[in-house]
A and B are shown apart, each in its own frame.
Chain A
């Protein structure tokens, strides 16, 4: 999966949880999930669990804590879905 495909998936998963739709109109890697999009911390957990279901990955607490922006989410997903060498 490439960066653009992962980004599109992340955006579609996060969309139902977004409170600030204006900030979501033009999402970028740097868009902050809690501060800019108005997602609360519990719903961020729901989003992480949705990533697990969608991408077949496991996200531990520390990795989840490091997801602050859309770009962080994409990079985490790409790392965890990358084939092992």
Chain B
């Protein structure tokens, strides 16, 4: 039901997002190249796609969704309209935020909730991934408090998702505003984003919880490597 309604209104949702992005004057300098790269990486995919990104602001998922594909492509490729997993506390505050979240394909999660709640969330995500959908997740759990990719905050749920939906593809996305020093609610107005994609095929010889951790740490490790690339470029340009 949520998927059908979100897809029916995808153009409305996307262009409302685009309007907000324009209002905030956000830009990605190599947007065309990024979208072409995403399209190439996703070509022929039938399995689910887990998009794993670093996390510094409340609107990272919106900026990433905008950057990966134009609205008209979402109309023809519903699987590129990603599902999101916001903290329930961030989305439950006002009715209109809940409506936007529903139409934006959000599955609210209760962070550090009881195991039954985590189980229900994992079941939903495994179901979506098994149907070839894309799910955007922040493996650090919340916005990094150190302004960098933080392996100490890594949540292992991403590893569990990969185990429960075998064959799922992983795409790491590193996105960061050039003026972003630490975590914040929003990027500064007029922000220019550095954004890179990297396909990853994490593997593990472990089982159970140890496998969850191993897989999650490989993903967070790749995000850390992408951040190093950003930092090297940033210091070179300074």
Contacts and interface: CB of A to CB of B under 8 A. Distances in A.
Interface of A: 34, 40-42, 45-46, 48-49, 52, 58-61, 64-66
A64 B209 contact: yes
12 contacts: A34-B112, A41-B111, A41-B118, A42-B216, A45-B156, A45-B209, A45-B213, A49-B210, A52-B210, A60-B208, A65-B118, A66-B115
Contacts of B227: none
Contact of B141 (A42, A61, A64): A42
A29 B227 CA distance: 43
Contacts of A41: 111-112, 118, 155, 157
Interface in B76-133: 111-112, 115, 118-119
Contacts of A59: 208-209
SS of B interface (majority): helix
Contacts of A65: 115, 118-119
A49 B213 contact: yes
B112 A40 contact: yes
A58 B211 CA distance: 13
Interface of B: 111-112, 115, 118-119, 141, 153-157, 208-210, 212-213, 216
Contacts of A48: 209
B16 to A, nearest CB: 34
Contacts, number: 37
A52 B156 CA distance: 17
Given A40-B141, A42-B156, A49 B209 contact: yes
Closest CB pairs A-B (n = 5): A65-B115, A42-B155, A45-B156, A42-B156, A41-B112
A46 B154 CA distance: 11
Given A40-B112, A42-B141, A46-B213, A61 B155 contact: no
A16 to B, nearest CB: 11
Contacts of A52: 210
Contacts of A66: 115
A66 B118 CA distance: 12
Contacts of B213: 45-46, 49
A42 B209 contact: no
Given A41-B118, A42-B141, A42-B154, A61 B209 contact: yes
Nearest to B213: A45
Given A58-B208, A65-B115, 10 more contacts: A40-B112, A41-B118, A42-B155, A42-B216, A45-B156, A45-B212, A46-B213, A49-B209, A61-B209, A65-B119
